[in-house]
Chain A
């Protein structure tokens, strides 16, 4: 197991995301929707930095368990949590936020979940880490950090609120 990103590297990646999003937003309100789990914590930190820069931020959380394409193949379903999007989705520019972008299937499920809430004008994607190996044609709009990984590597993201510490570790299947 190797430490790919430590606490300060993560903080840097978060700031990078916040900067990119801030510049692209102009004076528009920024709508962030974090994908559980951990995408919501990343979104919280990004939202805090954006507010620090003086931006108007609306914040929501999406649980995509019900939209996964692999439910039938799991021996037990993932723990279902609430989704909370209390601002109107219709005609808004939604930025989905997740911790790791990998095959793209989670984001595909997030699209389905999001579109059951309404019809956004534009959907963008912000990820803390892009580790490559896409299986669907999905590309991120904003990236915090790029990570070189092998397909079978296991990337473990730990965040303070969810896991008690900040770290991104790679476990190689060699």
Chain B
């Protein structure tokens, strides 16, 4: 019996994750065909409900849905600070009338996609809720990781940056952990909470641990203004991939990943993008395949 919704990684077990990853492979193969579309979701409606603006994730889902031959509608939701609970309630009533089959939700408040899922028979996919979860990102990250390190168990990934506010850090660390990968966090002391994962506040210490992949998180300017760390320049010098650090990373063949969008000169220097083991564009490509895998797998309960 398939799931109705895809809200987080925490509720998935290892078998389900492997199934979704395996299933993404044939979807990725479609990219090389001249006809990239398949009729699997023909006649179905996919609704994009993005309360937080995002071009990358939105278009990734859009392409994924359209390649499955679904009809995609981008629902115009107000981006300004509206009374939180109310606008979502009103929207749900409208959604019922529209009889959408799939709803992709991104919201600044953690838990909103789950709230919507409870109130509709449509399949709800969480495209990012507050600092809570971004499960499709976790999936595409695991997929990308598996492409370069097929035997995942025992491999090491260090996630670097503002872990405290990152839903990507949460989803990606959880999915890798379930796949047997050793995960550690590294970053400024004020931005890396104490969790069950190894914690580093020193770049060199983290690298001594011997990661196979360095996963960089985006540094958000708002955190600087809220006094979590001093300045872009200091962040780059203390925790960023400087030209100097890139040389050593390249020398050891360590992979570099990043969920995007990148801040050049902050979490990484320009050189990283030309590094042959930088997987950033591959992650974007895999995002479509991963999202197709999720859309194909879910079953709405619409009458």
Contact of A66 among B25, B296, B297 (CB under 8 A): B296
- Given A76-B299, A77-B297, A80-B26, the answer on whether A66 and B2 have CB atoms closer than 8 Å is no
Residues of A near B2 (CB, < 8 A) are: 75-77
Instruction: Please determine whether A117 and B35 come into contact, CB atoms closer than 8 angstroms.
Output: yes
User: How near does chain A come to B272, taking the closest CB pair, in angstroms?
Assistant: 32
Chain A, interface residues (CB within 8 Å), range = 20 to 34
Does A80 lie within 8 Å of B33, measured CB to CB? no
Task: Identify the interface centre among B23, B25, B26, B293: most chain A CB within 10 Å of its CB.
Answer: B26
B39 within 8 A of A: yes
Interface membership of B29, Cβ < 8 A? yes
Q: Does B38 contact A (CB under 8 A)?
A: yes
B40 CB-CB contact with A under 8 Å: yes
A120 at the interface (CB under 8 A from B): no
Task: Map CB proximity to A onto B272-295 as digits: 1 under 8 Å, 0 otherwise.
Answer: 000000000000000000000100
Contacting pair B296 A80 (CB below 8 A): yes
Q: Which of A28-66 contact B (CB under 8 A)?
A: 63, 65-66
Contact code string B92-132 (vs A, CB < 8 Å = 1, else 0)? 00000000000000000000000000000000000000000
Knowing A66-B296, A76-B299, A117-B35 are in contact, say whether A71-B26 is a contact too (CB < 8 A). Answer: no
Q: Knowing A75-B1, A83-B26, say if A116 contacts B299 (CB, 8 Å).
A: no
Q: Which of A65, A82, A112, A117 contacts B33 (CB under 8 A)?
A: A117
Known: A77-B2, A80-B26. A116 touches B35 (CB 8 A): yes
> Is A79 positioned at the interface, with any CB of B under 8 Å from its CB?
yes
Are A71's CB and B40's CB within 8 A? yes
Are B23 and A79 in contact, CB atoms less than 8 angstroms apart? yes
Q: Please determine whether B26 and A67 come into contact, CB atoms closer than 8 angstroms.
A: no
From 97 to 123 in chain A, residues with beta carbon under 8 angstroms from any chain B beta carbon are 112-113, 116-118
Q: Is B155 an interface residue (CB 8 A)?
A: no
The minimal Cβ–Cβ distance linking A111 to chain B, given in whole angstroms, is 12
Quote the shortest CB–CB distance from B25 to chain A (angstroms): 6
**Cβ of B34 under 8 Å from chain A:** yes
**Contact residues, B39-94 vs A (CB, 8 A):** 39-40, 43-44, 68
Residues of chain A within 8 A (CB-CB) of B293 are 80
Check A82/B29 contact, CB under 8 A, given A67-B38, A71-B40: yes
Task: Check B33 against A116 for contact (C-beta < 8 Å).
Answer: yes
- 8 Å CB interface, B1-38 against A: 1-2, 19, 23, 25-27, 29, 33-35, 37-38
Closest B residue to A71 by CB, please name it. Answer: B40
**A66-B40 CB under 8 A given contacts A75-B2, A77-B2, A79-B23:** yes
A74 neighbours in B (Cβ, 8 Å) = 299
| Shortest CB distance A66–B (Å) | 4
Known contacts A75-B2, A117-B33, A118-B34; A80/B39 CB under 8 A: no
CA distance A63 to B38 in the complex (A): 11
A-B contacts besides A66-B39, A81-B26, 7 pairs, CB < 8 Å:
A65-B40, A71-B40, A77-B297, A77-B299, A80-B293, A82-B26, A116-B37
Cβ contacts A to B, 12 pairs, < 8 Å: A66-B296, A74-B299, A75-B1, A76-B1, A77-B40, A77-B299, A79-B23, A80-B26, A80-B293, A81-B26, A112-B39, A116-B38
Residues of B within 8 A of A (CB): 1-2, 19, 23, 25-27, 29, 33-35, 37-40, 43-44, 68, 293, 296-297, 299
Q: Can you list the 9 inter-chain pairs with the closest CB atoms, starting with the nearest? A: A76-B2, A66-B38, A116-B35, A66-B40, A82-B26, A80-B23, A80-B26, A75-B1, A82-B29
